[in-house]
């Protein structure tokens, strides 16, 4: 399983890449592997407000439907519209083109509460 060092992780298997007061959000390699072949992705609406820990979208695979949870609170400033036509990108490139949305963070201290790569690797490796 890939666990890029530069990212932060939630215990719900989302990742964030921090850029100033914005974060890019996606699901981890572990999550996409557990889901299997992704066939549909619902991303949040641009302009919507999300709260850390709340569901803001879902991923449907051939196995199941799973909620996606906001790792931080803030306002959704962009979404990855290309996932509508190519949801399988979550499987093939979860840390690159498979990102879900970008959030302008309202409480930067929430970023510090997320797991670093070593802690996330320990979580998924039991």
Domain membership flag for residue 55? yes
Distance CA 72, CA 47 (A): 15
pLDDT at residue 46, as a whole number: 98
Domain membership flag for residue 28? yes
pLDDT at residue 29, as a whole number: 97
| pLDDT per residue as tens digits for the range 1-55 | 899 999 999 999 999 999 999 999 999 999 999 999 999 999 999 999 999 999 9
| pLDDT per residue as tens digits for the range 103-124 | 999 999 999 999 999 999 999 9
Domain membership flag for residue 26? yes
Domain membership flag for residue 118? no
The model's pTM: 0.95
Domain membership flag for residue 1? no
pLDDT at residue 103, as a whole number: 98
Domain membership flag for residue 43? yes
Q: Per the structure, how many domains does the chain have?
A: 1
The domain of 24 spans 8-110
Burial profile 95-113: b = 16 or more Cβ within 10 angstroms, e = fewer: beebbbbbbebeeeebbee
Domain membership flag for residue 115? no
């Amino acid at each position: 399983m890939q666990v890029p060092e530069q990212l932060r992780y939630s215990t719900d298997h989302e990742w964030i890449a921090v850029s100033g007061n914005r974060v890019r959000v996606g699901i981890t390699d572990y999550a996409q592997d557990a889901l299997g072949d992704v066939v549909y992705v619902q991303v949040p609406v641009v302009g919507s407000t999300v709260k850390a820990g709340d569901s803001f979208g879902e991923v449907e695979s051939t196995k199941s439907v799973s909620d996606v949870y906001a790792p931080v609170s803030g306002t959704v400033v962009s979404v990855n519209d290309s996932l509508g036509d190519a949801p399988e990108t979550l499987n093939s490139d979860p840390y690159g083109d498979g990102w879900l949305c970008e959030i302008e963070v309202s409480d930067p201290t929430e970023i510090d509460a997320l797991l670093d790569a070593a802690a996330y690797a320990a979580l998924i490796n039991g």
